[in-house]
């Protein structure tokens, strides 16, 4: 990603930026990720470590021929200064969808803020926050659009 995109994120958004829909191919991709999460959760259920779900979801996505990267480093760029902060995206799918995984009792507001920040820093528009520690996975999935 170029520093130009990062700079653009800090400018005042226009109405076009705010209301521009997520492209249909990105929406289809997100649906595939959600479907894969359903499959993993159906097989394993709640109660395991986040790293187990991450490994299994990555395996499922790759089985669907989706380019999926795990633990993608996310530097912070501030006024041209590049900071290797140790931030990592849990999963990045097809260079378009950011997936943040949790295995927690309750989704806290800070997790939503974390994903929103990852979207801003990476320049991606669509993120999925998926908590596997729920009886029904549909109750553990949140979409965040930037």
Quick: pLDDT tens for 7-40.
344 455 555 556 689 999 999 999 999 999 999 9
Q: What is the pLDDT of residue 2?
A: 40
Q: What is the pLDDT of residue 84?
A: 84
Which pairs count as long-range contacts for 66-72, CB under 8 Å and 24+ apart, including other chains? Answer: 66/29, 66/32, 66/33, 66/93, 66/94, 67/93, 67/94, 67/95, 68/92, 68/93, 68/94, 69/93
Q: What is the pLDDT of residue 86?
A: 80
Section 79-105 average pLDDT? 94
* pTM of the full structure: 0.85
């Amino acid at each position: 990603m170029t520093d130009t995109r990062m700079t653009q994120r800090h400018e005042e958004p226009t109405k076009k930026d705010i209301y521009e829909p997520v492209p249909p191919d990105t929406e289809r991709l997100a649906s595939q990720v959600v479907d894969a999460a359903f499959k993993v959760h159906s097989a394993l259920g709640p109660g395991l470590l986040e790293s187990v779900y991450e490994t299994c979801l990555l395996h499922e996505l790759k089985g669907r021929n989706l380019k999926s990267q795990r633990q993608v480093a996310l530097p912070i760029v501030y006024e041209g200064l590049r900071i290797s902060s140790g931030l990592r995206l849990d999963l990045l799918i097809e260079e378009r969808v950011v997936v943040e995984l949790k295995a927690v009792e309750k989704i806290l507001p800070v997790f939503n803020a974390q994903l929103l920040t990852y979207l801003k820093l990476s320049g991606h528009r669509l993120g999925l926050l998926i908590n596997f520690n729920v009886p029904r996975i549909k109750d553990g999935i949140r979409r965040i659009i930037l």
